[in-house]
Amino acid sequence: QSVLTQPPSASGTPGQRVTISCSGSSSNIGTTYVYWYQQFPGTAPKLLIYRNYERPSGVPDRFSGSKSGTSASLAISGLRSEDEAEYYCAAWDDSLGGPVFGGGTKLTVL
Amino acid sequence: QVQLVQSGAEVKKPGDSVRLSCKASGFTFTDYAMHWVRQAPGQRLEWMGWINTGNGNTKYSQNFQGRVTITRDTSANTAYMELSSLTSEDTAVYYCAREMSFTGFDYWGQGALVTVSS
């Protein structure tokens, strides 16, 4: 089964810029859009980025997405304590016929 | 405002089936696809399938083929997901989420915990 690979953890201090990577394959990231979700414990995920780099209304421009080949990244600038959460990447997978998700990256704000 | 309100937690025995509901409000139900995603404890999100709420067409993940059925009742603005032949590995929080035209899952239900235990 195709899955996306993320680092299990990331950290930064307030005000810093952190990036979270997401690696896939030609059957998913390489051919389709990438999405990013933020999840706090015990709550549903929240859409942060869609179509590689677009932000839904209400998502601060501190959050940005990019994609290159079969990899993607989420960047968070001006890190704040409230950004401490789990972040998941996702992309439609041609083999699955639906979206696959990364394993999640737990972001800690030191 | 847009809301997806799911049915409550369920406790099931191995071999049972579970049927969850997801009631939509605040938008035109048939304008959006409805997906079901689950998350086992400490695990990644896992897509289960989706339904075209307009025509009822469905697509399921091969990982659940034959065990999952997604339906909808447009008169009640509600989507349903039934999972059969439950095992302990199906213990998870199950979410519904809407999606339109590659804009991502922009609204999610609150989740429903399904516990499978003998």
Q: CB–CB of B106 and A47 under 8 A?
A: yes
Which of B35, B104, B111 lies at the smallest CB-CB distance from A35? Answer: B104
For chain B, give the mean pLDDT.
96
Per-residue model confidence as pLDDT tens digits over A33-77: 999 999 999 999 999 999 999 999 999 999 999 999 999 999 999
Question: How far lies B54's CA from each of B76, B94, B104, in Å?
Answer: 13, 22, 18
What CA–CA distance (Å, rounded) separates B76 from B78? 5
Bridge-partner residues for A96, per DSSP?
none
Minimal Cβ distance to A47: which of B45, B59, B104: B104
A3 pLDDT tier (thresholds 50, 70, 90): confident
DSSP track, B40-91 = -TT--EEEEEEEETTT--EEE-GGGTTTEEEEEETTTTEEEEEE-S--GGG-
Whether B64 and B51 have beta carbons less than 8 Å apart is answered as no
